[in-house]
Amino acid sequence: MAHWEDVVVRPDFRGVSRRERQGGRYRRYHPDLLTAASTSNSLTPALTEYAADVTTGLARLGESLRATPFPILYATSVRSEAISSSWIEGVRETPRAVAVAQIGYAVASHVAGQIVRNVSAMQDAIELLGKGDWKHEHLWAIHHDLLPDEPFGYRDGQVWVGGSSPLTSQYAGPPHEVVPELMDDLLTYANTSGDLPVIQAAVIHAQFETVHPFSDGNGRTGRALVHGVLARSGLVEGGVIPLSTALRRDVDGYIRALTAYRYDGDARADGVESFVGAFLAYVEEATVTAQTFVAAARRLHERWQQSISGVRSDAALRRAVDLVVENPVVSAPFVAERLNVSTVTANHIVKQLVEAHILKPATGQYRRAALFQADDVLSLLQFGAEAGPTSRAPALAGSADAERTLIHRCGVTTVRGSCGNRVAHADDLCWRHRT
């Protein structure tokens, strides 16, 4: 039965905080096994009906993705979700900085490199978990992609959230000795449960975050598992919903929902009901936001295809467009290496992409570097990482809604100062602040 355990800690005279030096007690949580009771039977009929409605919304979104698949959508949705998931953990960089790190450019920041690894972990989650039974090795591989310096496997010590020790933490997970059993149980539930995929995703995520099986990276890995569930169910293919964006817009509510899931004794029904209800609301919001994101990605795909409509299907220029979709910041040497062409040919391809308004010379801190950026893709990444269900998508370069050169700044006052997003005219607001 789920319970909180009091743990006595002896004084640590070299401790960072007064409480550590004094010693004391902390509480760590032991969750129930997921397979010990039926999840669906513990939910109210109203919540079960809500889950069915959310599933219907996801299915409609998934059907539209399957009807018109295109690479820009998958590349940008996965990357923007990974960026937003990293932001929740305080690992924050701009999409452009992440794109610079992605091509291995020397001046890339350490933080941007962390987000690139989260992109890889997200892709692995969809690939490894999106089909067939889940295995421990799958989870270890996803976590290793995210944090390659961490030991391969589950933790071998106490873990906590917040504070410098369990004594000052906001939450302490179960002892490491029980983690293998809890994770065996989680995988059994993932592989045998008959619950609706959205309910299964909610329970797996809450249980994973509660067990906290790794010493670090549990939040990002746990959110990646949700996309593995949805991909395996066939509800969402060819992209991901911006779930982390919805969670990031309500971090306090997200933490309250996880806290409520950590029930004591036989209060399983209330704990599960509380978290599943909150999670479904986040998925519903993300599904609505995804519809705007998909429409924006489709417009971008159509504009770029029109820009190169006269080019042979096997031409290097078309392959370069696909390369820019995956890497919205490139250099001529990078293009030459990836397309296996000469430096002269690569420079000519980059020039053609600039003339087609797909690329432009990098600006800001990279203006002296021999880099070129795809502003449309970078704007789409930023939109996917930050937008809500009522946000308007960014205008594309060369469209009726935007100048090809955005020389003005939005300027709206925010908690971090004036908004620096570029706009076409001095009195325009950027997509984030248009209502």
- Do 245 and 289 touch, CB atoms closer than 8 A? yes
| Rg, C-alpha atoms of the chain | 23
Alpha-carbon distance 133 to 247, whole Å?
Answer: 27
Alpha-carbon distance 136 to 153, whole Å?
Answer: 8
From 143, 205, 212, 357, the catalytic residue: 212
Alpha-carbon distance 82 to 123, whole Å?
Answer: 9
Quick one: pLDDT at residue 401?
Answer: 47
- Do 251 and 181 touch, CB atoms closer than 8 A? no
Residue 82 makes CB contacts below 8 A (sequence gap 6+) with 115, 118, 119, 121, 122, 220
The reply to whether 219 sits in an annotated binding site is yes
For 137-223, where are the E strands, in sequence order? 160-161, 171-172
Tokens linked to 34 = 């997921």
Of 275, 255, 322, which is closest to residue 75 (Cα–Cα)? Answer: 322
Quick one: pLDDT at residue 404?
Answer: 41
**pLDDT at residue 243 tops 80:** yes
Write the DSSP string, 210-242: HH--SSS-HHHHHHHHHHHHHHHHTSS-SS---
- Do 211 and 160 touch, CB atoms closer than 8 A? no
Taking all residues of the chain, what is their mean pLDDT, rounded to a whole number? 89
How many C-beta neighbours within 10 Å does residue 120 have? 18
The reply to whether 221 sits in an annotated binding site is yes
pLDDT in tens, 173-209: 999 999 999 999 999 999 999 999 999 999 999 999 9
- Do 167 and 16 touch, CB atoms closer than 8 A? no
Q: In whole angstroms, what separates CA 116 from the centre of its chain?
A: 11
- Do 230 and 57 touch, CB atoms closer than 8 A? no
Helices 332-339, 343-355: crossing angle, 10 deg rounding: 110
Write the DSSP string, 367-409: TTSS-EE-HHHHHHHHHHHH--TTPPPPPPTTSTTS-SS--EE
pLDDT in tens, 348-393: 999 999 999 999 999 888 888 889 999 999 999 998 888 777 777 7
Range with the poorest average pLDDT among 85-99, 105-119, 143-157, 321-335:
105-119
- 212 catalytic residue (yes or no): yes
Quick one: pLDDT at residue 36?
Answer: 84
Alpha-carbon distance 352 to 342, whole Å?
Answer: 15
Residue 273 vs residues 45, 96, 108, 171, 203: alpha-carbon distances, Å: 11, 40, 44, 21, 10
DSSP one-letter code for 29: E
Of 285, 264, 260, 262, which is closest to residue 274 (Cα–Cα)? Answer: 260
Q: How confident is the model at residue 424 (pLDDT cuts 50, 70, 90)?
A: low
**pLDDT at residue 228 tops 90:** yes
The CA angle 404-100-369, to the nearest 5 degrees, is 70
Tokens linked to 341 = 């062409």
Q: How confident is the model at residue 396 (pLDDT cuts 50, 70, 90)?
A: low
pTM of structure: 0.86
Domains along the chain with CATH numbers: 3-289 (1.10.3290.10), 294-391 (1.10.10.10), 405-435 (no CATH)
The reply to whether 222 sits in an annotated binding site is yes
Of 241, 230, 146, which is closest to residue 196 (Cα–Cα)? Answer: 230
Alpha-carbon distance 141 to 211, whole Å?
Answer: 18
DSSP one-letter code for 347: H
Residue 298 vs residues 72, 95, 234: alpha-carbon distances, Å: 8, 20, 21
